[in-house]
């Protein structure tokens, strides 16, 4: 048995690594087992740092840095303050009711909130701090400002004759003691007030409460979706393999990659913080790539065993063909996702890093742990066979074989019709309305959303995410100087000229209800200006642009102070501008690197260009369908349980492009790798196309079905941004694995003929990478079948 699982100098790197792992299968399995255990320990012992700071582009970034510096937000390890809105409504009582019941309810809750403390705060960075840190910094209500009811920005009459009012509550968004969640304590106090005053409708909504509720909803959705998705994935694998053991192996591989990736990222986050959603991204990409990579290799191994090769030779062929395609496809995915770093945004950076780590873990598992498991299982991989399913076939029989034969018989018609169809589907991309779905579009299940709806009906939603004007008095002035006060008052006056009223329903601004804030040094002030719109709506964008382009320059024209407009809407505008400026660079980087990898892999200029063009077809088809479904509201609102907002999230196209281009290239790499393998074994170009496309039809269908099922985890969440992402990803993969693979790819390659292998003479220095490995029993059997008249039509 000394020569079992041997490797030699003539083998490719992927084959040598697989055979090395197979020969040392117990040690490799033990190593991965220990790595998984250590990763689980790391996940439990080390808390991931999700405190992503900085990276906000443009004026918003400058304003954020100024606030952080001048207001000393880091001195107590406090991330900042969050504004919550508490709305009160009574069907008959007025805020000035003689009995004082309304005032008693409002002020009673505010007094209780102001009494909240976090006790026994630890010193930070050697600096002593008070033993008690106020959770609620301040509150503002109608009763604090001393204005008559009719002039108060806090009061509105409701339809039943009573009054609606609200309170502004400033809370610290992160306590010194990380074990105490400030917003939970505030929410508990509001719940208690609701119980004590059943005649009042009391709701709370704002930055911290909505973020907490949205996180809980996403976690709940993912837990439920994963619970449903895993059985579906397992059923697809059972149908693909017809055996329980073979179906379990890819799932084991995928979860090994996911757990190790999460453990590594837990450690990496200590130096490079990650956004909280990185866990969901790792789960999505880990399941998709981990299962698909194992599916490709196991399918080829079982096919070679069925054709009569020994276990050793079958693994050698599988690792030298499918394994090679996995490495090249995975490398392309890594480079494609690396394009996110060029956006120069902390969110893209952390998601890109998370994606790269899990893809590398999936490749490592497929190249080492999978061969070790195959060597240990041997023919036991076919244990627990399901009756009537039998082994998966890879010869192209069945529906796909018939479809591909018809497409190849009429290549011009098939290619022409499908390309025109894809262009038509992609056309709505030209009407992309990129923006941000603000708090109003949060899931209706979130309690905070009800408060926002109540706020919008009686006041303005802009109170939740107001425009923030940061006033920097400069070195020689202070914020209370006559010059700076005059400019600030001038700005307030200009805003007040455009206040919302029944006579002016199109006004951009609401009445300023929150007093300006000043830092202790007296050189910086914050003015909060409500805008009449959700932070992602065009009206809010127009309001901020008007402040930046007209009102602020006019008010501060003769002042030495500097005024910068920030806030949620302003940050959205700056992010979108930065995104649009950098998108061409990212596209060029991803396409250029993918082209080079494909050129090196297939040593063909035409194949490299063809693969990229076909991938772009699937990406832009997904963009077009995103517009039709989520922007225009076609067909699927009821199915996916959402209401079209007319907005596609600004971050989505670029993020989707980077991820999609990497993931969907797997199929092109796998199909074209099989075509090249057939060609290297002596088939003509047309024979290689027919055999390669039909020979991979079954496994790609199964792989795509799994990836689509995983992507739909996102499509059925309640968050509109994640819903758009999941839908776009699922649609692009579906288009790529069906229309592109069955119609466009084989027909265009057939029409190109020998030009598929064209390489200019000045590129002859590119090394030849063979896609075949040893003698394939499956190919030999196909050749014999063709010689007997049983080949493809």
At 308-364, the pLDDT tens digits run 888 898 999 899 888 888 998 899 899 989 999 998 888 888 889 999 999 999 999
- Taking residues 681-702, report their average pLDDT: 87
Taking 50 as the threshold, does the pLDDT of residue 8 lie above it? yes
* C-alpha span between 289 and 280 (Å, rounded): 14
- Taking residues 584-594, report their average pLDDT: 91
Residue 507's pLDDT band, with cuts at 50, 70 and 90, is: confident
Helix H or strand E encompassing 334 = helix 311-338
Report CA torsion sign: 74, 76, 79, 83.
negative
Q: What are phi and psi of 82, to 5 degrees?
A: -120, 145
Total-model pTM = 0.84
pLDDT tens-digit readout, 168-190: 887 765 443 443 456 888 889 99
Beta bridge partners of 210: none
pLDDT tens-digit readout, 425-454: 999 999 988 888 877 677 777 778 888 888
pLDDT > 90: what percent of the chain? 36
pLDDT, position 786: 47
Among 381-395, 694-708, 725-739, name the one with the lowest average pLDDT: 381-395
For the chain, the straight-line distance linking the first and the last C-alpha, in angstroms and rounded, comes to: 44
Residue 83's pLDDT band, with cuts at 50, 70 and 90, is: confident
* C-alpha span between 54 and 77 (Å, rounded): 15
Mean pLDDT of the chain: 84
Q: Tell me the range of 158-167, 650-659, 711-720, 746-755 where mean pLDDT is highest.
A: 746-755
pLDDT tens-digit readout, 514-567: 788 888 888 899 999 999 888 878 888 999 999 999 999 999 998 889 999 998
pLDDT, position 386: 81
Taking 80 as the threshold, does the pLDDT of residue 775 lie above it? no
Q: Tell me the range of 242-256, 678-692, 700-714 where mean pLDDT is highest.
A: 242-256
pLDDT tens-digit readout, 724-748: 999 999 999 999 988 998 899 999 9
pLDDT, position 173: 53
Taking 70 as the threshold, does the pLDDT of residue 422 lie above it? yes
- Taking residues 111-126, report their average pLDDT: 62
Name the E strands within 339-478: 434-435, 467-472
Helix/strand/coil for 175? coil
- Taking residues 420-429, report their average pLDDT: 96
Taking 70 as the threshold, does the pLDDT of residue 789 lie above it? no
* 517 CB neighbour count, 10 Å cutoff: 17
Beta bridge partners of 86: 167, 204
Contacts for 606 with CB less than 8 Å, ≥ 6 apart = 752, 755, 756, 757, 758
Taking 70 as the threshold, does the pLDDT of residue 75 lie above it? no
Helix H or strand E encompassing 697 = helix 697-715
pLDDT, position 733: 92
pLDDT, position 779: 56
pLDDT, position 375: 93
Q: What are phi and psi of 78, to 5 degrees?
A: -105, 125
Question: Which one-letter DSSP state was computed for residue 740?
Answer: I
- Taking residues 139-147, report their average pLDDT: 87
Contact of 171 with 84, CB cutoff 8 Å = yes
CA angle, residues 710, 716, 722, in degrees to nearest 5? 85
pLDDT tens-digit readout, 602-642: 889 999 999 999 999 999 999 999 999 999 998 888 898 88
């Amino acid at each position: 048995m000394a020569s079992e699982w041997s490797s030699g100098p003539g083998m490719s790197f992927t084959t040598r690594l697989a055979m090395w792992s197979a020969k040392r299968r117990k040690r490799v399995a033990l190593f991965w087992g220990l790595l998984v255990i250590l990763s689980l320990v790391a996940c439990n012992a080390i808390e991931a740092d999700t405190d992503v700071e900085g990276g906000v582009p443009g004026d918003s970034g400058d304003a954020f840095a100024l606030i952080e510096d001048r207001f000393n937000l880091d001195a107590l390890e406090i991330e900042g303050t969050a504004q919550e809105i508490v709305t009160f409504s009574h069907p008959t009582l007025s805020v000035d009711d003689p009995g004082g019941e309304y005032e008693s309810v409002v002020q009673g809750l505010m007094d209780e909130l102001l009494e909240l403390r976090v006790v026994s705060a630890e010193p930070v960075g050697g600096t002593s701090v008070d033993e008690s840190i106020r959770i609620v910094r301040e509150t503002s209500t109608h009763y604090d400002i001393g204005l008559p009811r009719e002039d108060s920005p806090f009061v509105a009459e409701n339809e039943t004759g009573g009054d609606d009012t609200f309170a502004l509550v400033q809370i610290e968004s992160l306590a010194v003691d990380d074990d105490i969640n400030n917003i939970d304590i505030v929410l508990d106090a509001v719940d208690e007030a609701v119980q004590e005053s059943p005649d009042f409708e009391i709701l709370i909504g704002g930055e911290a409460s909505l973020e907490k509720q949205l996180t809980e909803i996403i976690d709940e959705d993912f837990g439920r979706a994963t619970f449903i998705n895993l059985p579906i994935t397992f059923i697809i694998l059972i149908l693909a393999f017809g055996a329980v053991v073979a179906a379990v192996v890819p799932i084991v591989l995928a979860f090994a990659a996911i757990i190790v990736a999460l453990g590594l990222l837990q450690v990496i986050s200590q130096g490079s913080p990650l956004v909280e959603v990185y866990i969901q991204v790792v789960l999505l990409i880990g399941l998709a790539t981990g299962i698909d990579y194992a599916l490709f290799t196991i399918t080829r191994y079982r096919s070679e065993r069925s054709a009569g090769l020994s276990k050793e030779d079958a693994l050698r062929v599988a690792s030298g063909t499918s394994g090679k395609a996995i490495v090249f496809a995975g490398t392309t995915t890594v480079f494609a996702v690396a394009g996110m770093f060029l956006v120069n945004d902390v969110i893209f950076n952390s998601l890109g890093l998370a994606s790269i780590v899990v893809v590398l873990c999936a490749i490592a598992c497929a190249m080492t742990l999978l061969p070790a498991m195959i060597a240990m299982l041997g023919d036991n991989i076919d244990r627990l066979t399901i009756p009537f399913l039998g082994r998966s076939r890879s010869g192209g029989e069945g529906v796909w074989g018939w479809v591909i034969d018809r497409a190849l018989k009429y290549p011009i018609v098939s290619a022409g019709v499908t390309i025109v169809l894809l262009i038509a589907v992609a056309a709505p991309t030209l009407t992309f309305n990129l923006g941000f779905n603000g708090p109003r579009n949060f899931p209706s299940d979130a309690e905070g959303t009800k408060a926002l709806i109540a706020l919008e009906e009686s006041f303005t939603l802009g109170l939740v995410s107001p425009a923030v004007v940061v006033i920097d008095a400069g070195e020689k002035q202070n914020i209370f100087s006559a010059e700076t006060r005059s400019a600030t008052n001038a700005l307030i006056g200009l805003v007040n000229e455009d206040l919302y009223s029944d006579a002016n329903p199109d006004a951009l601004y609401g009445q300023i209800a929150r007093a300006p804030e000043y830092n202790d040094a007296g050189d910086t002030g914050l003015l909060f200006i409500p805008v009449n719109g959700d932070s992602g709506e065009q009206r809010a964008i127009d309001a901020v642009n008007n402040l930046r382009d007209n009102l602020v320059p006019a008010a501060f024209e003769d002042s030495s102070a500097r005024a910068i407009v920030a806030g949620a809407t302003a940050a959205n505008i700056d992010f979108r501008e930065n995104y649009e400026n950098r998108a061409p660079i990212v596209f060029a980087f991803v396409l250029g690197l993918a082209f080079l990898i494909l050129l090196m892999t297939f040593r063909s200029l035409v194949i490299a260009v063809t693969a990229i063009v076909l991938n772009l077809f699937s990406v832009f088809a997904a963009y077009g369908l995103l517009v039709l479904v989520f922007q225009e509201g076609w067909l699927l609102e009821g199915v996916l349980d959402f209401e079209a907002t007319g907005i596609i999230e600004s971050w989505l196209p670029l993020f989707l492009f980077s991820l999609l281009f990497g993931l969907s290239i797997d199929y092109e790499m796998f199909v074209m790798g099989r075509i090249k393998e057939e060609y290297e074994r002596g088939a003509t170009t047309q024979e290689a196309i027919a055999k390669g496309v039909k020979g991979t039809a079954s496994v790609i269908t199964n792989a795509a079905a799994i990836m689509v099922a995983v992507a739909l985890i996102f499509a059925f969440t309640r968050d509109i941004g994640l819903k758009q992402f999941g839908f776009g990803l699922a649609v692009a993969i579906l288009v790529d694995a069906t229309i592109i693979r069955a119609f466009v790819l084989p027909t265009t390659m057939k029409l190109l003929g020998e030009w598929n292998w064209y390489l200019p003479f000045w590129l002859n220095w590119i090394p030849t990478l063979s896609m075949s490995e040893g003698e394939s029993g499956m190919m030999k059997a196909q050749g014999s079948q063709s010689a007997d008249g049983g080949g493809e039509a």
